[in-house]
Structure 1
Amino acid sequence: MATGSRTLWKGAITFGLVHIPVGLHTASTEQGVDFDWLDKRSMDPVGYKRINKRTGKEIDKDDIVKGVEYEDGKYVVISPDEIEAIYPRTTQTIEIQRFIDANEIPFLYLERPYYVAPINKGQKVYALLREVLSKTGKVGLAKVVIATKQHLAALVPSGEVLVLNLLRWGDEVKPLTGLDLPAAGVKGAKVTAAEMKMAEQLVKDMSGKWNPDEFKDEFRHAVMKVVEKKVKAGDTETVIQPEEEAPAEGAEIIDLTELLTRSLKGGKAAKPAGAPAKKTAGPGKTATAKKSGATAKKATRKKAPGGARKAA
């Protein structure tokens, strides 16, 4: 599979005692026009200053603490050590919690897709999971940590590839309270038979096959035409960006038949072949986890308005 993107991290899919070494790849791109702020005198990127909103004065980063608002205008300050202690542990695993019917997850919960590809001779067990999910109509409901943030995710077969689609947590989806909605059902909504018949005919006339290539971001394409015209005219500037770190290595697979048999018997999780990285400074973190977590964080970090980078 050619994704045209680098590996965010290398780890494993786990369920029962089965351990599938995989690499995680970005499956989507942000295509909106990104206008960065640049200093016209030097073409250096321009970011936001740390400004005290009450005094309007710039402050030093050492004077900044992190607080959580629990009531209007009232905060609890959380120290760096307290934050470090409760950060989700970067395990480099996509840990399947259960298998559910594919049609059980509403579109409302889907957030961001990633391609998952096998590594370290994991093709056979990867294919087994992909095919059994396709045959049973199930998806794997999993937990995964990316860039120090824990996510709920669905592992979904899509042709040749398994897609890890990050999901919104249940409390991140707002309830319908306060929405002025018509009653459910044709009778409840007071829709007549004639209106329903005409609406069905219109839907039929406008129906077609799913083809994403037929739909474009017209504004972005118009802006990029202007950009291409300026490039051809030589009206360009150069802005140097820092280099990215290399991803860390993942684990290896152990015997598939043995793991499946032991999993069906309710055995405890086995330690995968290939010793994990030795621990370095910082509780609960390994050198591999820290390096891979930082790499994933860079890959998934979004730009703030005006081209400034949001601080972690």
Structure 2
Amino acid sequence: MSARAIWKGYLSIGDVGCAVALFSAIDAQERTSFHIINRDTGNRVRRQYVDEDTGKAVDKDDLVKGYDQADGHTVVLEADEIREAVPDSDKRLEMSTFLPCADIDTLYLERPYFLAPADAQSVEAYDLIRDTMVATNVAAVARTVLFRRVRSVLIHPEGRGLIATTLNYDYEVRDPAESFGDIAKVKIDSEMLDLARHIIDTKMGRFDPAAFEDRYEEALAELVRAKIAGRKPKKLPKRKAENVTSLMDALRRSAGAPASSKGKAQPAKSRKAAPSAGRQKKAS
């Protein structure tokens, strides 16, 4: 079954453009999902909005949004007031700014969507836009109204199509200094750097999401299967805790060198030869 578009509009660069459709790139339906059940009756329960003072349930038609002020008063906003305040959408994705792909700060990426031509007549212009972006190795920033909100979108080519990723606004992203500002500066020993580089070199690979394990989902699925079969769930293997006395010992063990070495540790040979320490130091 073909995917259903969640938004349709017009992608353009100046006077060049085409009709496009937006599709969700994320499918959470494959995850194990549950209903909330009343243990005593076995019946499903439903959520209800309740007035915090009277304790009585509130009908959906009586729900409005409120904004708390510093003085304790609440400003009430009706649904039609919010609708009128939100900018109208002209269904247009105008690619106004282009930037090198290497300049993209992934911290601002929010959620990806597939952006495809909406009809056969749009394919030629769509391919022209995509192929030009591939040739120049750039991404584009565009703005439009999505899901009742003006959003900035990053568009970049991917295979035969385009990926549109909604962006976090600057005010939404916290200052990294809040988390990293108190990290003390430490001088790392050159032997530690050599060992760490060797460990990374032997573990180099390719980005392959299919190899990522969702251990939480796997454990839930096994629990459900076991319940249905009337057996105990299989336990996932736990990592063994290793008693490492120092960071240097941990590095030596990971590199395959004896932890008790007194001199410079020599990393164990791997199937992929690591650069010599001399070449590593030159490259750093």
TM-score, length-scaled by structure 1: 0.64
Matching residue of 1:8:
6
Matching residue of 1:20:
18
Matching residue of 2:192:
195
Matching residue of 1:171:
171
Cα distance in 2 for partners of 1:46, 1:128 equals 53
Deviation sequence 1:256-308 (CA, Å, 0-9, x none): xxxxxxxxxxxxxxxxxxxxxxxxxxxxxxxxxxxxxxxxxxxxxxxxxxxxx
Matching residue of 1:106:
105
Q: Does 1:49 align with 2:66?
A: no
Cα distance in 2 for partners of 1:118, 1:211 equals 27
Q: 1:183 touches 1:189 (CA, 8 Å); kept in 2?
A: no
Q: Which runs of 5+ in 1 are unaligned?
A: 234-312
Cα distance in 1 for partners of 2:83, 2:9 equals 22
TM-score, length-scaled by structure 2: 0.70
Cα distance in 2 for partners of 1:24, 1:45 equals 35
Matching residue of 1:85:
84
Matching residue of 1:131:
131
Paired residues for 1:195-274 under 5 Å:
195-225=192-222, 227=224
Code of the aligned partner of 2:81:
E
Shift of 1:192: 2.4
The 1:154–1:67 alpha-carbon spacing in structure 2 relative to 1, beyond 3 Å, is same
Mean CA deviation greater in 155-164 or 67-76:
67-76
Q: 2:17 touches 2:126 (CA, 8 Å); kept in 1?
A: no
SS in 1 for 2:192: helix
Cα distance in 1 for partners of 2:151, 2:43 equals 35
SS in 2 for 1:47: coil
The RMSD of aligned alpha carbons is 2.9
SS in 2 for 1:50: coil
Mean CA deviation greater in 91-100 or 110-119:
91-100
The 1:34–1:74 alpha-carbon spacing in structure 2 relative to 1, beyond 3 Å, is farther
Larger RCO of the pair (alpha carbons < 8 Å, separation 6+): 1
SS in 2 for 1:178: helix
Shift of 1:116: 1.1
Q: 2:155 touches 2:162 (CA, 8 Å); kept in 1?
A: yes
Q: 1:109 touches 1:167 (CA, 8 Å); kept in 2?
A: yes
Identity of aligned residues (%): 28
SS in 2 for 1:7: coil
Deviation sequence 1:41-79 (CA, Å, 0-9, x none): 999864311112234332233443211234374432223
Mean CA deviation greater in 192-201 or 114-123:
192-201
SS in 2 for 1:220: helix
Cα distance in 2 for partners of 1:44, 1:126 equals 51
